Structure 1
Amino acid sequence: MQVVSIISTKGGVGKTTTAANLGGFAADAGLRVLLLDLDVQPTLSSYFTLAERAPAGIYEMLAYNEQRAEQLVSHTAIERLDLVLSNDDRGELNTLLLHAPDGRLRLRHLLPTLAPRYDLLLIDTQGARSVLLEM
């Protein structure tokens, strides 16, 4: 699985739009794509109509080390395009990961469980310097 992070410390520069468009194009080209919405403002999570919404999202993945795809991965109406929703509406993940011993490495340790299912992972980040961005 290739992992691509769309990063800028400035907001409003098109990170989410880039992630959504790249994801849609790659899925249309036949790749199995997972979008990961790490932004506190869950714009990427609202770009695509969901065919099936997972009960959990990025909060459970990072706060509780949830690794089960059936709990985390929502399926969009676009074939081969899936999404892990941003559901950290109170912005608690930054503080939690800042104080966790593995905070900046946690995502790296969780991704291998998803790797066999996808060809491409696109990560949309928030437009501010934070632990989530560093991770």
Structure 2
Amino acid sequence: MASPTLTAYYDQWRQLTLAEADAIAAARWERVDQLQETKRQLQTFLDGWLRAQSPARARELTEQYRPVLRELIELERRNAAALSDQLRRAQNQHAALDTADRRLRQVRQAYAPAREAAWQTYS
């Protein structure tokens, strides 16, 4: 028999993970951090809740919720891939900006007027 409490917690996890996906896509990193912290707290609670069950009941619940857990794992995998893509894009953009900065300095050095010495003579 399914546990309504556990179902509600896994539904909450799903909603948090979907919200996290939206935040990743929008590059709202503070929101991503908040959602991940909420999920860490939920995971800690769920781990304790399952440990409080008898070993037989914990195995039964794990088996019963296996499809839900697979779905949650897949959603988490997608979020991890999206984060990886965002990180790669940010690194590429950073490298491009570094290159542009370096080239701009080279252009300035090549075309900047030569500075005259501050002193023409030494007395």
Length-normalised TM-score, structure 1: 0.27
Question: Structure with the greater relative contact order (CA < 8 A, sep ≥ 6): 1 or 2?
Answer: 1
**Which has a greater percent of strand?**
1
**Which has a greater percent of helix?**
2
Length-normalised TM-score, structure 2: 0.29
